[in-house]
Chains A and B, each alone.
Chain A
Amino acid sequence: MSAQLNPHARPRGAARVGIGGPVGSGKTALLEQLIPRFMARGTDIAVITNDLVTAEDAERVRRSGLIAPERVLAVETGACPHTAIREDPTLNLAAADELDRAYPGLELILIESGGDNLASSFSLDLVDYWLFVIDVAGGDDIPRKRGLGVLQCDLLVINKVDLAPHVRVNLDRMVSEAHEVRLGRPTLLTNCAHGDGVDAVVERIAQEVLFDR
Chain B
Amino acid sequence: MRTDAPVSDAVGGWPADSGDALSMLGMLQFADSFFPSGATSFSWGLESLKLDGRVGNAEQVFEVLCAHIEQRWAGFDRPLMHAAREAWVQRGAAALNEALELDRVCEAMNLSRGWRDASRRLGFTQLRVHADLGLGIAQVYLDQVRAAGMPGHLPVVQGLIWGAYGLGAEGCDAMAASGLCTTVVGAALRLGLIGHTEGQRLLARTRPLVARVMAMPPCGVDALWSGAPLLDVAAMRHEARAGRLFAN
Residues of A within 8 A of B246 (CB): 76, 78
Residues of A within 8 A of B143 (CB): 8
What CA separation (Å) do A54 and B41 show in the bound complex? 13
Residues of chain A in range 88-120 having any CB-CB distance to chain B below 8 Å = 88-91, 93-94, 97, 101
Q: What are some 25 contacts across the A-B interface (CB < 8 A)?
A: A1-B5, A1-B135, A2-B134, A6-B139, A8-B140, A10-B132, A52-B245, A53-B243, A53-B245, A76-B41, A76-B244, A76-B246, A77-B245, A78-B42, A78-B187, A78-B245, A79-B190, A88-B37, A88-B38, A88-B40, A90-B38, A90-B129, A91-B125, A93-B128, A125-B132
Chain B 208-245: CB-based contact to A (< 8 A → 1; otherwise 0): 00000000000000000000000000000000001111
Residues of B within 8 A of A94 (CB): 38, 121, 124-125, 128
Question: Taking A6-B136, A55-B242 as contacts, is the C-beta distance between A90 and B36 under 8 angstroms?
Answer: yes
Residues of chain B in range 187-207 having any CB-CB distance to chain A below 8 Å = 187, 190
9 tightest A-B CB contacts, nearest first: A78-B41, A8-B139, A90-B125, A1-B134, A88-B36, A91-B38, A76-B247, A1-B9, A90-B38
Contact of A90 with B244 in the complex, beta carbons under 8 Å: no
Main secondary structure of the interface of A (DSSP, over half): loop
What CA separation (Å) do A14 and B175 show in the bound complex? 34
What CA separation (Å) do A52 and B5 show in the bound complex? 38
CB of A3 within 8 Å of the partner chain: yes
CB of A5 within 8 Å of the partner chain: yes
Contact of A54 with B243 in the complex, beta carbons under 8 Å: yes
> How many interface residues does B have (CB within 8 Å)?
36
Contact of A3 with B129 in the complex, beta carbons under 8 Å: no
Chain B 22-48: CB-based contact to A (< 8 A → 1; otherwise 0): 000000000000101111111100000
- A interface residue numbers (CB < 8 A to B): 1-3, 5-8, 10, 52-55, 75-79, 83-84, 87-91, 93-94, 97, 101, 125
Least CB distance from A44 to B in Å reads: 19
A123: nearest chain-B partner, CB-CB: B36
CB of B53 within 8 Å of the partner chain: no
User: Which of A87, A90, A91 has the largest number of chain B CB atoms within 10 A?
Assistant: A90
CB of B111 within 8 Å of the partner chain: no
Given contacts A3-B133, A6-B136, A94-B125, 9 further A-B contacts (CB under 8 A): A6-B131, A6-B134, A53-B243, A76-B41, A78-B43, A78-B190, A87-B36, A90-B38, A94-B124
Least CB distance from A133 to B in Å reads: 23
Least CB distance from A34 to B in Å reads: 26
Least CB distance from B227 to A in Å reads: 26
Residues of A within 8 A of B187 (CB): 78
Residues of A within 8 A of B124 (CB): 94, 97
Chain B 98-134: CB-based contact to A (< 8 A → 1; otherwise 0): 0000000000000000000000010011001101111
Question: Taking A78-B42, A79-B190 as contacts, is the C-beta distance between A101 and B125 under 8 angstroms?
Answer: no
User: Which of A83, A89, A97 has the largest number of chain B CB atoms within 10 A?
Assistant: A97
Least CB distance from B39 to A in Å reads: 8
Least CB distance from A74 to B in Å reads: 10
What CA separation (Å) do A1 and B42 show in the bound complex? 31
What CA separation (Å) do A125 and B10 show in the bound complex? 17
Residues of B within 8 A of A55 (CB): 242
Question: Taking A5-B134, A8-B139, A101-B146 as contacts, is the C-beta distance between A77 and B38 under 8 angstroms?
Answer: no
